[in-house]
Copies of this chain bind each other. A is one copy, B any other.
């Protein structure tokens, strides 16, 4: 057996402790699988006294993780501190500069600085591994680069944020409003005290940008992702979705269009009979469409110490075996240059819910606005009559261009009989 792979771990929160526990529990099997043991030689974290439930034994402790990345006698530095900038970034840069491989679970860092880090790593001949940064329990980066690597992909999409999926699942099952369910999720530890990163779609957008980079072999362009969160999803819309044969999911979708690369995160109505409609609670899922494989679906836990540690150690095993596929699937010099396909050029069907005064002529005004923009309707739902009162009217369009849809919506929103801003949810054909 070859000598052990020497590892330094920066950050010892739940994931860092999970990695240590995993190596302690499965180290013998791992050594057989990759032909050499994994050996944690150093740990960099602040509070040495804290009980993390793992024996640190002879591991060298650094209070300064950045110094550890520079000085430790390790071939790999595992960055588990988090954050797009600051110390996490400096640790990765320092490790690469000293010719050490880097494994990270940091999606914000990858989404914002992944391309620059990948160039630096390639120049130094070291690996930059990030399986744990996207949907921890799903080995999707490996699947895109290797398992499905014989394919050209046209689209990749998925449920990339467990908190949002949990909230939407509970809302659908109980009929409760967003704010209530969020508060409960916070109590259960499924949502952060500051929930914006999750419920406003940013976390999903980080992951989507990373997936798009590796799926299409292109620079990571987080700034080009169109992002909407789930705060505006209401029980009424969830009810209508059921009636129309859909479920509402927060999806991240990246696809190649005639205009370039389209990247978007927003609530979607997905047909109830598709596999992704049944991915519930905190689970994540990713679907890839390839030109030979067709579509392949991957589902698993997106977060948590165990699944994330599983992904981190899988990366370490690749490094231990000497497997070094290019960071984004192809060498950095071969990255595809893809223009951004703007949201105004997006084509798709739309669900629109209006709150209108129930009086003659309202529907005529609404449908005239749609007709003038060449938006054709697939169906309209208006139940019961309450003359003079506010009633919901639901419209489902045929596929149309987002720019035309937006013009029609502005006109509809301005109608005196339309009492609230139109609620719009894109319908996704999967």
In the complex, are the beta carbons of B294 and A147 less than 8 A apart? no
Alpha-carbon distance between A29 and B151 when the two chains are bound, in angstroms? 8
Known contacts A275-B275, A314-B150; is A296 also within 8 Å of B299 by CB?
yes
Q: A267-280, CB under 8 A of B: which get 1 and which 0? A: 00000010101111
Taking a contact as CB atoms closer than 8 A, the residue among B26, B145, B292 that contacts A291 in the complex is: B26
Taking a contact as CB atoms closer than 8 A, the residue among B296, B301, B313 that contacts A150 in the complex is: B313
Query: Which residues of B are found within 8 Å of A36, using beta-carbon distances?
Result: none
Known contacts A152-B26, A309-B292, A321-B323; is A314 also within 8 Å of B146 by CB?
yes
In the complex, are the beta carbons of B325 and A33 less than 8 A apart? yes
Known contacts A30-B150, A143-B139; is A294 also within 8 Å of B299 by CB?
no
Number of interface residues of A (CB under 8 A): 62
Query: Which residues of B are found within 8 Å of A137, using beta-carbon distances?
Result: 293-294, 296
In the complex, are the beta carbons of B325 and A306 less than 8 A apart? no
For residue A155, give the distance in angstroms from its CB to the closest CB of chain B: 15
Which residues of A (325-367) have their CB < 8 Å from a CB of B?
325-326, 329-331, 334
Whether a CB of chain B sits under 8 angstroms from the CB of A138 is: yes
Query: Which residues of B are found within 8 Å of A295, using beta-carbon distances?
Result: 300
Contacts A26-B152, A142-B143, A294-B304 aside, 5 further interface pairs with beta carbons under 8 A come to A22-B150, A137-B294, A149-B317, A273-B278, A297-B298
Which residues of A (120-148) have their CB < 8 Å from a CB of B?
131, 137-139, 142-143, 145-148
In the complex, are the beta carbons of A307 and B321 less than 8 A apart? no
Which residues of A approach B to under 8 Å, CB–CB? 18, 22, 25-26, 29-30, 32-35, 131, 137-139, 142-143, 145-152, 217, 273, 275, 277-280, 290-301, 304, 306-307, 309-310, 313-314, 316-318, 321-323, 325-326, 329-331, 334
Alpha-carbon distance between A70 and B203 when the two chains are bound, in angstroms? 54
For residue A246, give the distance in angstroms from its CB to the closest CB of chain B: 15
In the complex, are the beta carbons of B151 and A33 less than 8 A apart? no
Alpha-carbon distance between A145 and B33 when the two chains are bound, in angstroms? 8
